Structures are given as C-alpha cells and as structure tokens.
Amino acid sequence: MKNRFLLLIILFGALAFISCKKQFEDFYKIQVNSLSEMEDFYTWSPDRIPMVSAHRGGPYPGFPENCIETFENTLRHTASILEFDVALTKDSVKVLMHDNTLDRTTNGSGKVIDKTYEEIKALRLKDNEGKLTDFTIPTLEEVLEWGRGKTLFTVDVKREVPFEMVVDEIKKAQAEPYAAVITYSAEAAKEVHALHPDLMLSVTIRNEEELQRFEDSGIPVEKWIAFTGTSERPQEFNQMLHERGVFTILGVLGNLDRSAIARGDHIYKEFVKNGADILATDRPIEAAEAIKDLIPEKTSKMKYWKYD
C-alpha cells in the first residue's frame, strides 16, 4: 500500500496541491532520454502504468488545441503523452494546426498553405468554444524544444506535409527519444521507417488482418505503438498485441468520451481492464483521474515518471 500511495502522489497529487502548483512552472513529467529508454518505455509488460494521450494537447476552456500553453495546462494536472498536428505554411514552415483552414481555431481565415509564417505568427488562437486567447500558433521546432525532458509526443502529419520534412525536424532537434510519428497505413509506416529506422511509430492495428500486414512489413515490432481504433476491441485481440510486447492506444475521443460524460468516468477503467494501455482522449485530466487506481503497486516503468 505504501508503494501505491507514493505512485499516486507522484503521478497525480492531491487536489489542493494541484491548485497551488498552477502558479508555478511545475509539471508531471515522463522523462525518456534515449532511444533505448524510449523502446523500453513502450515495450508492454504486465506492470505497465496505464496512461492518457491528450488529443491535440488536451484543449479545455481558455486553452486552445495544438498550443504550448495547453500542453503546459495538461501537464500541470497529469503526466500525459501529447498528440498534436503538423501543417505547412506557404514558405514551408511547419506549424501546429489541425484544420486546413484557419477560420475555426484562430482570428484569421483562409488556408494555412496559402499563408506565410509571418502572417500565421500574427494570429491568435481560439479555444474550442470560440473564445479568443492571447496564445499564438507554435512551430514544430519550438514544440520539440519545449518538450525535451517533459513529455512524450505523437506527431500527426497532415496530408500536405511530406513525412521527410517532419522526420528531418525531429532529427535536427534530436527528439527521437520522445517524439513518435503517427501513421495510418502500413505503406505510410514503411515510408517513415525507411526515412529513420530508429523512430517509434503509432500504427493502426484494429484487426488480425492489419496485424498480419504489419508483421509482414519489415518494421520491427519494438517500434510499434498500436492504435486500435475508436471503438473497443475484444480483450483477446488486445492480449495478442500484449503477447508481442506492444502497447495499445484506444481512441476514446469522440463517442467513448461522450459515453463517459453520460455514464460516468468510471468507464475509462473498464477500457483499461479490457486491455487498453493508453487512452487517447479529449478529456485527459478526467480520464487520468479515473484510471489512477489501476497503477500497479510495483512497476519497472516508474523510473520514467517524474514530478518537478
């Protein structure tokens, strides 16, 4: 019980303490400092720590998606993987943006690809309720530098952005130990793996056919993080991935998050008990709170979890 208590203090903290530390630059961190540590962190074991991945960084009221200030807000509440999207400006600067256009998330308009970085930099971000904030659109370079020693990233590369440009930015920042690239097909995964064989890859594996496709791909299983879709997979299927040492990411964003709001956050526990290791969610703070009781009393993964 003592070990469990210490784990809970380190990972989540007391609510009163959270309210105090928001005043400072203190974060719950996942620190992975080398490629070998990255591989070890993502190698499944029965003592793994269930965790959340904050979709688009975890936007909340006052905190827009794909924004460094939003990342910081998430990490003030819980250790988390941070997922974000990369788009391209007219002058080939890689910036964080999900939509092809600027209208929904900023006080600008038009396509991202039609704007220079100077034009993009002058805009301010809106939160998901449409409220304008003082926050601006960060570049991929800025985010990779900010994240060093704080967290793990999964990088979603928009269609108009060549994988090579993102991989080169990760290499330049020496961010391979903490930045994995999201792919949606075996062909895309093979392309990224050929560009940089050391990178971890988020790969879509929702059924045995897709599993076989990746087993035939030539990409070592040690480089997989398996995104199993946005609906629950059978426990037996998750077990097949675990037997191969592969973490599963269940996309609870969307319908499953809405189910948690309607039925209660306890259902996040059910997803983990069914074999989901990482919950990709629009509600990272609530989901992390719901699953904290599932942290093993003793775990070899604890060495990567920090609080500063």
* 105 alpha carbon, distance to own chain's centre: 20
pLDDT for the residue numbered 307: 80
- The per-residue pLDDT of the chain, averaged, comes to 93
pTM for this predicted structure: 0.92
Catalytic position from the list 77, 98, 242, 266: 98
pLDDT of residue 14 exceeding 50, the answer is no
Q: What is the pLDDT of residues 235-280, one digit of tens each?
A: 999 999 999 999 999 999 999 999 999 999 999 999 999 999 999 9
Catalytic position from the list 55, 77, 193, 242: 55
Annotated catalytic, 196?
Answer: no
Annotated catalytic, 55?
Answer: yes
pLDDT of residue 179 exceeding 70, the answer is yes
> How big is the chain, counted in residues?
308
C-beta contacts of 198-206 below 8 A and 24+ residues apart: 198/35, 199/167, 199/170, 199/223, 200/38, 200/39, 200/42, 200/224, 200/225, 201/225, 202/154, 202/227, 202/249, 203/227, 204/229, 205/241, 205/246, 206/233
pLDDT of residue 17 exceeding 60, the answer is no
pLDDT > 70 in the chain, percent: 92
